[in-house]
Amino acid sequence: MRSIRATTLGILLSAGLAGCVTQGGVQHGTAPSGEATQAAQTLYIKGQFDQAAQAYLALAAQDATHRDYYKLLAAESYRQEGALDRAAPVVADVRRSRLEGEDALRLDALRAEIALKNNDAKTALSLTGKPATRVSPQIDQRLAELRARSQAAAGDSWSAAQTRVELDGQLRGIDREENRKQILALLTGLGAQPLADRGAALAANDPLKPWVVEAQSQLGSVNRAPAVLDQAVGTVSGDKGVREGYKVPTKVALLLPLSGPLAGAGAAIRDGFFTNYIEAAHTDAPRPEVVVYDSGNDAAHAVAAYDKAVAEGARFVVGPLNRDGVSAIFAKGALPAPMLTLNYPNDNRNLPPAGANEFGMLPETEGAQVADHMADRGIRTATVIVSTDDFARRAGNAFKAEWQARGGTLAGQVTLDSASIDFASQLSEPVGEDPATSGVFISMKPQQARLLLPQLRLAKNTLPVFATSHVYGGGDDPSADRDLDGVEFCDAPWLFDAQPGLPRRAELGNAIPATKGVTARLFAFGMDAWGLVPYIDWMRGHPGSYLPGATGQLVADEFGRVRRVLIWARFADGVARPVAGSLELEAPAAAPTVESGGG
């Protein structure tokens, strides 16, 4: 990682070090302040660090009283130039006892950087301890960053990660993004088992805990979704009938594809968004102005829509829907308006930038939750059967990662061509597998699942079957789905009107076509997109809280990623209905309450 330099500290350093007025609260009243001093300061501020260093060295030669102070300024100038090798002999000639206030700590920081360059982590660590007294944020950040580098160089990645987590809240912009990448690199570098052991010893409220979970997810050893949700978002209060934490901006932009191949999905999400938005009016709660922008189907249109929305006064942006668009907006760096994306960037290993929140319907989420559900049911051995579709492949990979992390055993893996109808050659009778502790995971569309299940039974495989939501067409079709009897799958509660407090699907069906069939999930997704707008900030600050949503119980982690905890349904007589008690948590009551539930 690049050290915290010019972007965060350079100008502050020039004002503090080169000012010759106040250093760490100590007056340098006798320091020269003539034309030579001003000229050196000007060179430093302009970024002409090599020339500034020469000017400060000249001042040191002229003024024996402030010799060490000017040499420190010269060494800092070389550092800013990226020439630590030239700074080293200057630093070696500085007498720490002759420096005042924070200047002594700046000398320590320089010595530590030079020691690190010389692979002397022990010396660097000895120079970067936490200051005993309160110091300026700039020197505190600089010492902390060097301390983390020193700990990592000494082979103590865990302590280095802890130091960087402490530093995280103090940083902004690119320095914060780089620091966060380093935290995850340090933790993932420990390996899955050592990380699990260390993480298990942390208190639930330890600030390092969410970083450990994030690192484990990147290693594929844990699902990011919480196993237990602590309490619902606030409770209904006041004459407006809103929950604690309700806060809306003055103007919201909704970025959706209104033309092209994704227009149908965009329309369904838009309809769900405004259905829930209008529903909110019944409580007389304050609502923002909402303007819809066409974000197209590619990155360029998404960025243009975001920029136009901000230029026209949007204070919060919802969307875009395509992953390339999300990635392109994130690449802009600092966001002028916070946002809730409706998908994840192409590289989902990086954390969202400041002000960004991510929300999507990932097949990985479902695959991992099926693994958790089966493990919670006491199943220990699983056979994985997925189609060649991309969603099925991704769900299958997430299932296997979570399954193995839960200690489960894989009895076999089968991939079925989505265009094929005969799977007999790929299926076999399970040998020695107990139906009480063995099961089958499938991820595929309804048409393929209807072909698979009878062939499984012909192969004498009568183990219980668990699936992702893709197995359900979104509506009752008893004659077609009778072959799926007994299959359990995770899905959005609103599809079954199983989430109290939301407009009922059964009552909207005749008026809004998007509530029927497979588009119903996108409609529910749109409902949740509006539902999150007033609460997302509060949720990020209250880990474990959840919003009872249409697509599931919605939880936001400290990084702004919204996760869905789904419900469970089962086919019986060709009709899918929620499993009794499968709704993880009910909507909160009118009085304060704390609820808990299984994952």
Environment class of 345 (CB within 10 Å of its CB; exposed 0-12, middle 13-18, buried 19+): buried
Quote the CA–CA distance of 381 and 362 in Å, as a whole number: 25
Check if the beta carbon of residue 440 is closer than 8 Å to that of residue 386.
Answer: no
Q: What is the dihedral of CA 71, 74, 76, 78, to 10 degrees?
A: -140
Q: How many helices (H) and strands (E) in the chain?
A: 22, 20
CA angle 533, 538, 539 (to 5 degrees): 85
Nearest to 446 by CA among 415, 413, 469: 469
In single-letter form, the type of residue at position 509 comes to G
Say if strands 465-467 and 488-491 run parallel, antiparallel, or are unpaired: parallel
Check if the beta carbon of residue 564 is closer than 8 Å to that of residue 552.
Answer: yes
Instruction: Write the DSSP assignment of 45-61 as a string of letters.
Output: HTT-HHHHHHHHHHHHH
The pLDDT value given to residue 244: 77
pLDDT, tens only, 373-392 = 999 999 999 999 999 999 99
Supply the pTM of this predicted model.
0.77
What is the distance in angstroms between the CA of the first residue and the CA of the last residue of the chain?
37
Residue 171 in 3-state DSSP? coil
Say if strands 488-491 and 438-443 run parallel, antiparallel, or are unpaired: unpaired
Query: Under the phi-then-psi rule, with left for phi > 0, alpha for psi from -120 to 50, and beta for the rest, what region is 234?
Result: left
Quote the CA–CA distance of 152 and 585 in Å, as a whole number: 42
Angle in degrees, 0-180, between the axes of helices 209-218 and 173-188, rounded to the nearest 10: 70
Whole-angstrom CA distances from 528 to 25, 318, 428, 521 are: 52, 11, 42, 11
Residue matched to tokens 């209904």? 236
Q: State both tokens at 408.
A: 């489960």
- For residue 553, the cross-strand partners are 548, 565
Quote the CA–CA distance of 60 and 329 in Å, as a whole number: 49
The pLDDT value given to residue 5: 41
Angle in degrees, 0-180, between the axes of helices 84-92 and 49-62, rounded to the nearest 10: 10
Environment class of 59 (CB within 10 Å of its CB; exposed 0-12, middle 13-18, buried 19+): buried
- For residue 383, the cross-strand partners are 412, 440
Check if the beta carbon of residue 224 is closer than 8 Å to that of residue 563.
Answer: yes
Helix (H) or strand (E) holding 304: helix 299-311
Instruction: Write the DSSP assignment of 438-497 as a string of letters.
Output: EEEEEE--HHHHHHHHHHHHHTT----EEE-GGG--SS--HHHHGGGTT-EEEE-GGGGT
Quote the CA–CA distance of 290 and 274 in Å, as a whole number: 9
Quote the CA–CA distance of 123 and 484 in Å, as a whole number: 67
In angstroms, what is the C-alpha Rg of the chain?
A: 29
The pLDDT value given to residue 198: 93
Phi, psi for residue 423 in degrees, rounded to 5: -110, 10
Q: pLDDT tens digits, the chain, 599 residues: what are they?
A: 445 443 333 433 333 443 333 333 333 434 455 788 899 999 999 999 999 999 999 999 999 999 999 999 999 999 999 999 999 999 999 999 999 889 999 999 999 999 999 999 999 999 999 988 899 999 999 999 999 999 999 999 999 999 999 999 888 878 888 898 899 999 999 998 999 899 989 998 899 988 998 888 788 665 554 444 445 555 444 445 567 788 999 999 999 999 999 999 999 999 999 999 998 887 778 899 999 999 999 999 999 999 999 999 999 999 999 999 999 999 987 899 999 999 999 877 678 888 899 999 999 999 999 999 999 999 999 999 999 999 999 999 999 988 988 899 999 999 999 899 999 999 988 888 888 999 999 999 999 999 999 999 999 999 999 999 999 999 999 999 999 999 999 999 999 999 888 999 999 988 999 999 999 999 999 999 999 999 999 888 887 788 999 999 999 988 899 999 999 999 999 999 999 755 543 333 322 222 323 33
The pLDDT value given to residue 233: 56
Quote the CA–CA distance of 337 and 331 in Å, as a whole number: 14
